[in-house]
Amino acid sequence: MTPVIEVKNLKKYFPTPHGTLHAVDNVSFKIEKGKTIGVVGESGCGKSTLGRTIIHLHESTGGQIFLDGNDITKLKGKELKKVREKMQIIFQDPYSSLDPRKTIESTIREPFVVSKRYSKSEIEEKTLELMSLVGIDERLRRSYPHELDGGRRQRVGIARALALEPEFVVCDEPVSALDVSIQAQVLNLLKKLQIERGLTYMFVTHDMSVVRHISDDICVMYLGQVVEKCEAKELFARPLHPYTKALLSAIPSTDIHNKTKREILKGEITSPINPKPGCRFAARCPFAVEACHQPQVQEEVSPGHFVTCCRVHEIQKI
Amino acid sequence: MAKEMKKEESPFLQIKDLVVEYKSDDQIVHAVNGVSLNLGKGRTLGLVGETGAGKTTIAKSIMRILPDVGAKITGGEIFLDGRNVLELSETEMRKIRGNTVSMIFQDPMTALNPVQRVGDQIAEVVRLHNDEKVNPEKRAKEMLEIVGIPAERYYEYPHQFSGGMKQRVVIAIALACNPDLLLADEATTALDVTIQAQVMDLIGELQKKYNTAMILITHDMGIVAQVCDDVAIIYAGQILEYGSKEQIFDYPTHPYTIGLFGAIPSMSGDEMWLHPIDGLPPDPTNLPEGCPFSPRCQYASDMCRKDGIGFHMTEDGHQCRCCRIEEIKKMKREEDQK
């Protein structure tokens, strides 16, 4: 089966006064239809930029993007507009991603109007249909965003993203701004919609328990590069890259009796501007040796489990 | 300044029936509705709840830094080391703030003054509260080192620091005068997990060293599990469940607490669906009669909606405000047996 989305060696660099910022560097993966890939990493690791570059909100610097097997990397103008309908995004902050001067109804209606595919009465009908799909009461149609709570606003963002029946949706931290009880409501909604509509998700988040719950596969990013990639279960059961291990052990566990020994990383994420060749995590890595400062290759350690670390086998023995 | 040692009989911090309201135009926001809690020296209390539950308002009431216009403490007492802070003059309060009690604010990006050197911002607290024997600049440099920032960065400005480092500066300010009580309001929420782990470790170390009492305001059950001794679950300005960490995590009793635990995606489970709590927190300008959680509670009966909130305390001090607690326990047992 052709994957819905495939990226090969995708790069996105930003010029800055101090040099080139390597936000996304040589990232490759595929997502099959109806599946979810989770992208995790700390702030500034390039996970949001990756999502935005795939759906052409940023122009890529290098590499290729395929949608349903077609290379869409270089599309422009009308062709790009057509492809964009199939790829949508749900933003992190439901407080700033909705137009404060538009009613809920007109925000949800907008994609239909822009697409010019429907008559006025069809648009009306479809808007109401969408509102009930994401669980917004019809009585709220003329409300403004400031009158809604975070959970409802995020539902509006979801409705807007799904209006033109996309195949692929980038969910950029869609529940990070919500309280746990509301977060669970929205996560269940996203899952229900995925099953009903066969949606393919890329789920960007820094919350490891959310990503574990929603993803089929997970990519762990560090400073623009994917350091580890495998099935969600496998990643939590058998993390191999030292960064993944540190990330997982830093999560405060709700189990009060089983206090696991935590590996606390020293130092902070370094700058992605003009990075040196070699492993970008080496500066903080407790296992770093001379060889880590040479360019690293991705290795398939076990079927479907990819790690970019030259010492992965030695570390396992330690 | 030498801090007087008081008798250990009453807890260091004691809040009794605190009520706080915000008035705006013609509405009254009932932010805190009768909160009572105790905290001893060196202990950590986790204050857990959703946005708008009143957690920050409680902390600000202790510091008496609620906004002058609109906010009003309409009932209750707050005893700090035996003194009711609500009766103190502003001059006396100034001596307490930053010295006896200090607060770490949620957002390190906005808590620092962008046009003042970070070192000077730490030195300022020391200058205000210490006698002349302590050199503020020296103490500030010491504090920087304690929080893991080289002292030579004293002369830099906040924008030259990363998020994690800024939060460490905020912590250095809060701890510069060895406070007896530290109020940490979502102190690590804005940080990445690996940095959060560093910062929590640091706070824990310093707390142990100076025997500081701490109120940790958070919505992250994981942090509570790792750090706190006691936990208060707060909802619509009331404490619904209150007890030791073991009591709350091993025997959650209130339907809201149970709901909160159920809504967290588990790290090990493979559940297809999460169990959200239906509905939304109540509007604080228009709280429901009776138990504030009753509109969302699957066990709510007419009694909950009318007569209000029960109060139940076990012998070992586990408090739960639910009038159907015994019935719910029985129902749960029957469910489990099935």
B302 confidence band (pLDDT: 50, 70, 90): confident
Q: Are residues A57 and A175 in the same domain?
A: yes
Does A170 reside within a domain? yes
In chain A, which residues have their Cβ closer than 8 Å to the Cβ of B270? Answer: 233
Does A159 reside within a domain? yes
- Give the residue ranges of chain A where pLDDT is below 50: none
Nearest to A250 among B194, B261, B281 (CB): B194
Nearest to B196 among A209, A233, A250 (CB): A250
Chain B contact for A149 (CB, 8 A cutoff): yes
Inter-chain CB proximity B267 and A253 less than 8 Å: yes
ipTM of the shown complex: 0.82
In chain B, which residues have their Cβ closer than 8 Å to the Cβ of A259? Answer: 226
Q: Are residues A113 and A255 in the same domain?
A: no
Q: Are residues A178 and A273 in the same domain?
A: yes
Q: In this structure, are residues A224 and A46 in contact, taking their beta carbons and an 8 Å threshold?
A: yes
Boundary residue ending a domain (A132, A165, A198): A165
Q: Are residues A288 and A184 in the same domain?
A: yes
Between chain A and chain B, the number of residue pairs with CB atoms below 8 A apart is 115
Q: Are residues A305 and A219 in the same domain?
A: yes
In chain B, which residues have their Cβ closer than 8 Å to the Cβ of A182? Answer: 50, 276, 280
Residue type at B96 in one-letter notation: I
Chain B contact for A253 (CB, 8 A cutoff): yes
Q: How far apart are alpha carbons A247 and A223 in whole angstroms?
A: 14
Residue of A nearest to B190 (CA): A43
Chain B contact for A191 (CB, 8 A cutoff): yes
In chain A, which residues have their Cβ closer than 8 Å to the Cβ of B267? Answer: 208-209, 212, 236, 251, 253
Residue of B nearest to A148 (CA): B280
Residue of B nearest to A41 (CA): B192
Residue of A nearest to B161 (CA): A268
3-state secondary structure A29-84: EEECCCCEEEEECCCCCCHHHHHHHHCCCCCCCEEEEEECCEECCCCCHHHHHHHH
Q: Are residues A205 and A274 in the same domain?
A: yes
In this prediction, residue A267 carries a pLDDT of 73
In this prediction, residue B10 carries a pLDDT of 77
In chain B, which residues have their Cβ closer than 8 Å to the Cβ of A264? Answer: 194, 197-198, 201
Helix (H) or strand (E) holding A11: strand A5-16
Across residues B164-192, what is the average pLDDT?
88
In this prediction, residue B3 carries a pLDDT of 42
Nearest to B222 among A191, A247, A252 (CB): A252
* Angstroms from A166 CA to nearest CA on chain B: 23
Chain B contact for A151 (CB, 8 A cutoff): yes
Torsions phi, psi for B233 (to 5 deg): -95, 120
Inter-chain CB proximity A254 and B225 less than 8 Å: yes
Boundary residue ending a domain (A165, A186, A217): A165
Q: Are residues A170 and A46 in the same domain?
A: yes
Domain count of the fold of chain A: 2
Does A92 reside within a domain? no
* Angstroms from A152 CA to nearest CA on chain B: 10
pLDDT tens digits, one per residue of A47-87: 999 999 999 999 999 999 999 999 999 998 899 999 999 99
Q: How far apart are alpha carbons B47 and B61 in whole angstroms?
A: 14
Does A93 reside within a domain? no
- Quick check: B7 pLDDT over 60? no
Coil, strand, or helix at residue B125? helix
In chain A, which residues have their Cβ closer than 8 Å to the Cβ of B277? Answer: 181, 184
Across residues B58-68, what is the average pLDDT?
93
- Quick check: B19 pLDDT over 90? yes
Instruction: Give the relative orientation of helices A150-162 and A120-133 as an angle to the nearest 10 degrees.
Output: 130
Does A91 reside within a domain? no
Chain B contact for A196 (CB, 8 A cutoff): no
Does A172 reside within a domain? yes
Inter-chain CB proximity B226 and A259 less than 8 Å: yes
Q: How far is CA B330 from CA A279, B324, B334, in A?
A: 57, 10, 6
In this prediction, residue B6 carries a pLDDT of 43
In this prediction, residue A252 carries a pLDDT of 86
In chain A, which residues have their Cβ closer than 8 Å to the Cβ of B196? Answer: 250, 252
pLDDT tens digits, one per residue of B103-124: 998 877 788 999 999 999 999 9
Q: Are residues A195 and A224 in the same domain?
A: yes
In chain A, which residues have their Cβ closer than 8 Å to the Cβ of B220? Answer: 252
In this prediction, residue B327 carries a pLDDT of 84
Inter-chain CB proximity A251 and B267 less than 8 Å: yes
Chain B contact for A205 (CB, 8 A cutoff): no
Nearest to A213 among B245, B261, B265 (CB): B265
Boundary residue ending a domain (A145, A165, A185): A165
Q: Are residues A224 and A300 in the same domain?
A: yes
Q: Are residues A261 and A272 in the same domain?
A: yes
In this prediction, residue A43 carries a pLDDT of 82
In chain A, which residues have their Cβ closer than 8 Å to the Cβ of B260? Answer: 180-181
Coil, strand, or helix at residue B174? helix
CATH label of the domain that carries residue A80:
3.40.50.300
Percent of chain B beyond pLDDT 70?
96
Burial of A230 (0-12, 13-18, 19+ CB in 10 A): buried
B4 confidence band (pLDDT: 50, 70, 90): very low
In chain A, which residues have their Cβ closer than 8 Å to the Cβ of B197? Answer: 250, 252, 262, 264-265
Nearest to B265 among A210, A256, A259 (CB): A210
Chain B contact for A264 (CB, 8 A cutoff): yes
Q: Are residues A157 and A177 in the same domain?
A: no
Mean pLDDT estimate for chain B: 88
Nearest to A268 among B162, B193, B245 (CB): B162
Pairing of strands A299-302, A200-205: unpaired
Does A305 reside within a domain? yes
- Domain containing residue A74: 5-86+166-317
Q: Are residues A158 and A203 in the same domain?
A: no
Does A280 reside within a domain? yes
Burial of B87 (0-12, 13-18, 19+ CB in 10 A): exposed
* Angstroms from A189 CA to nearest CA on chain B: 10
